[in-house]
Structure 1
Amino acid sequence: MKAVTLLLAVVAFGVQAHHDEHESHGHGAHEHGHGHLNLVLDGNQLMIELQAPAADLVGFEHAAKTDAEKAQYAKAMAQLKQPDALFRLDPAAGCTLTQQEINAAKEEHDHYHEHDKADADHDEHHHEDGHADMGAMYTYTCATPAKLTGLEATLFGVYPTLEKLSVQGILPAGQTAAELTPSANKLSW
């Protein structure tokens, strides 16, 4: 059941991202300073997917060449592996991180995305113009999911060039969508 729910969520998000591309400025989901957060709360599992331009998460979008760039890239990867610094969940819900998967910009050629989940359709946006997105998927298991009534996006402090986070979620009460910013970084449901 959980896999089906997540798959439906990813498909819904993919449709939304594709829809945005045709109505906005032709850059697709890729806009510097603008990240995307997808979340699914299913039973006691909370899945959070973060996607943002590599320019905001790393500081540049090309493959790391110099030692300084490689160090910066490694630091960015380490930050993505510390979701406690990126999101704050209500401690009363008792959520513990049970799985994480980092989707990094590729270092070798121009192929930026892994194909192990349903984001193959996003690739077309990132090849021609050299834009790269990075992201991560976090899965939490919550002891008391009913006490999970929102989240705080603390990642704006970690990534100062990130100005906006478009949130889409599938929750027991239905779908939610919001825009989070550094001054309005709390999502409630």
Structure 2
Amino acid sequence: MKAVTFLLAAAAFGVHANHPEHESHGAHEHGHGQLNLVLDGEQLLIELQAPAADLVGFEHEAKSAEEKAKYAKALALLKQPDQLFRFSPDAGCTLTQQEVNAAQAHHEDEHDHGHEHEHAKEASGHDEHHDDEGEAGHADMGAMYTFTCRTPAKLSGLEATLFTVYPSLEKLSVQGILPTGQTAAELTPAANKLSW
């Protein structure tokens, strides 16, 4: 039964995180990532979503050799969750599965967003440049990690060390389902520890 609960919670988080168009237009905010977690028995699921601008440095398709190298480095870092999160060693958590989601532009918003910029430029006579990529659209990327913890009772929180890896990431909105109930928090570089 626990596995069913775990999978349902994971599916709910996945739908929420991968379809930001159902939220307000401001759901894609540079410097702001989303962290979802579920602890069920010995399994800990962590899902990270953030703007590609914060994880790679840009949101458009990598074209130059330098951009391709930055993109490859970002993917490699996402495959190293021990560089992004820290748990109590007493819990004995081991990575058992991971899935990295490459940058995907929000094509539905991209068309409208570009036209909004064009109309704003025509009406005001100048470019209202709201993000680093101009009219290139928005892209998110992230990963899902499954850990198996030998002693889950000793897992009482996590430290988000990813702020040192991704310095432009300013905050993480956290949602979690834990044995004690649901939790929500906001982590920042100065307050990067979540306890439960």
| Cα distance, 1:39–1:76 mapped onto 2, change above 3 Å | same
User: What is the DSSP-based 3-state SS (H/G/I as helix, E as strand, rest coil) of the residue aligned with 1:103?
Assistant: strand
> Which residue does the alignment assign to 1:152?
159
Tell whether the 8 Å contact from 1:27 to 1:125 is kept in structure 2 after alignment. Answer: no
Tell whether the 8 Å contact from 2:86 to 2:159 is kept in structure 1 after alignment. Answer: yes
Give the Å deviation of 1:19: 10
Deviations 1:88-141 (A, max 9, x none): 011000000000000011xxxxxx28xxxxxxxxx5775444100000000000
Q: Give the alignment's TM-score, normalised by structure 1.
A: 0.82
User: What is the DSSP-based 3-state SS (H/G/I as helix, E as strand, rest coil) of the residue aligned with 1:73?
Assistant: helix
Tell whether the 8 Å contact from 1:9 to 1:170 is kept in structure 2 after alignment. Answer: no
Structure 2 residue identity aligned to 1:186: K
After superposition, the CA RMSD in angstroms is 2.3
| Cα distance, 1:89–1:139 mapped onto 2, change above 3 Å | same
1:84 aligns with 2:82: yes
Deviations 1:124-161 (A, max 9, x none): 77544410000000000000000000000000000000
User: What is the DSSP-based 3-state SS (H/G/I as helix, E as strand, rest coil) of the residue aligned with 1:47?
Assistant: strand
Give the Å deviation of 1:11: 2.0
Matches within 5 A, 1:21-100: 21-22=23-24, 26-28=25-27, 30-100=28-98
| Cα distance, 1:12–1:159 mapped onto 2, change above 3 Å | closer
Give the share of equivalent positions with the same residue, in percent.
70
Give the Å deviation of 1:14: 4.7
Q: Which has the larger radius of gyration?
A: 2
More helix per residue: 2
Give the Å deviation of 1:5: 2.6
Unaligned runs of 5+ in 1: 106-111, 114-122
1:185 aligns with 2:195: no
